[in-house]
Amino acid sequence: MNLADTLAASKTRIVTVTTDAVGADPMDFLRRADGGARGFWARADGWVAHAGTLAKLMADGTAPKKRFSDIETEARGLFDGSDWGDFGESPPLRFYGGFSFRSDHSPEGIWSGFPPALFHLPEIELEGKWGQSPRLIARAVFDPREDAVDRVLASLLARTTRLGGILRDSVGDENSVLLSVPITRDESERSEWEMAVTRALGAIERRLISKVVLARTLDVAMERRIDIIEVVQHLWETNSGSHVFLFEPGEGQAFLGAAPETITTVSHGRFHATAVAGTVARGETPEEQHSLAERLLNSKKDTVEHKIALEDMVTRLDSVAHEVTAQAEPHVLTLARIQHLETEIRARLRDGTSALSVLEALHPTPAVCGLPRDAALEFLDQEETFERGWYAGPVGWFDIEGNGVLAPALRCAVVRDRQWRLFAGAGIVAGSNPSLEWEETTMKFEPVLRALEESGAQ
């Protein structure tokens, strides 16, 4: 039964069952959902995996400035005249998915299946935190004119209990033998990309823009399909400081990555995000890491790049928030292979302001686009020869109470059957060096490339 169809009837209800799932592993859960819609989102010490689709929210980009509010309106409209009940403590209904970088994105080719906005309300979620037992959250819709609530609850509870038992009993199962998968690579032409950086520096010198984020691609063709969940698991294991994500709207279509920052985190009217810009390698030893971090903190070019991103976010927040505060000085965010300048931003939102309302005010930030925004977008139109799709667009979740966590989709790849396209970008400001910017983007391909290699891609 599809929620979007059945909620047309005013009597339609949604029922939720929540049970403990001691020992359940999210990767095993996702593998059991192979062939259907599924997703995974990990942040700090918490994670959630989901499968199935009760409802689907979509925007086609015909009203570009309204797609964030349109998605939120559509989510709330699903429940007009409806009621729902819970069996066990459960979170608010959460929608998982994302938005494309540009509102006029066309879901074609490798981006088929990824419209300008797409969110799923899952049938089942497995949620956990380090040090705590996971819990299963299952939902179903029914019409009380045709189904008795006791029978629906009993059926859903039996299904959830059965799945919880399967996931618990599978702990410790032997993993299948990892097979090598031959690949071919096709990378952006270095000379052409560095010429684009040079043209960006010319536009900056003429004061047409102060910053632009130029991206490039790396295509990886597999001889046969690789286990996407294996790749996500390696991303998660080796990028603990990032926001690891997978969104798979259908079989053979996936978008995954490990973003270093959030664009908006909203919880009960409180906002938190991080401005991240400025990049250097991590280094191979603790001493080298410290030396590179100090160099990053003292880099005039990286400090300027970071300041542009921070000041624009703070300015735009004034329209939706009170008490906007940011750390006085940036600190170094150290990830698996790379380091960034990072500044935390906090605010108290105006009454009625939701996570998607904040997103509408902030996206695209200078960290993924440039400044001034319109001039940077025009420059990217001229210089980038590929479709960004969801790259650098906001991905994550929101609920109907206005909360949400959304990150810019960075260090990412889109997958279409055996074709993988990786994306990496660099912020170009006065003082940027084309050769060094190329090396920076090479570092930013590494999270997904290493996860692929560890999953058998050769």
> Catalytic residues, which ones?
211, 261
Tally Cβ neighbours within 10 Å of residue 58: 16
Separation between Cα atoms, residue 148 and residue 247, nearest integer Å: 34
Phi-psi region of 355 (alpha: psi -120 to 50; beta: other; left: phi over 0): alpha
Burial class (CB in 10 A: 0-12, 13-18, 19+), 84: middle
Sequential DSSP letters for 333-366: EE-SSEEEEEEEEEEEEPTT--HHHHHHHHPSPT
Select from 66, 74, 97 the least CA-distant residue to 360.
66
What is the DSSP pairing of strand 83-87 with strand 13-20? parallel
**Contact call for residues 56 and 139 (beta carbons, < 8 A):** no
Tokens of 263: 């664009």
Q: What does the block give as tokens for 377? A: 């977008």
- Cα-only R_g, the chain: 22
Cis peptide bond prior to 372, omega within 30° of 0: yes
* 105 neighbors 387 (Cβ within 8 angstroms): yes
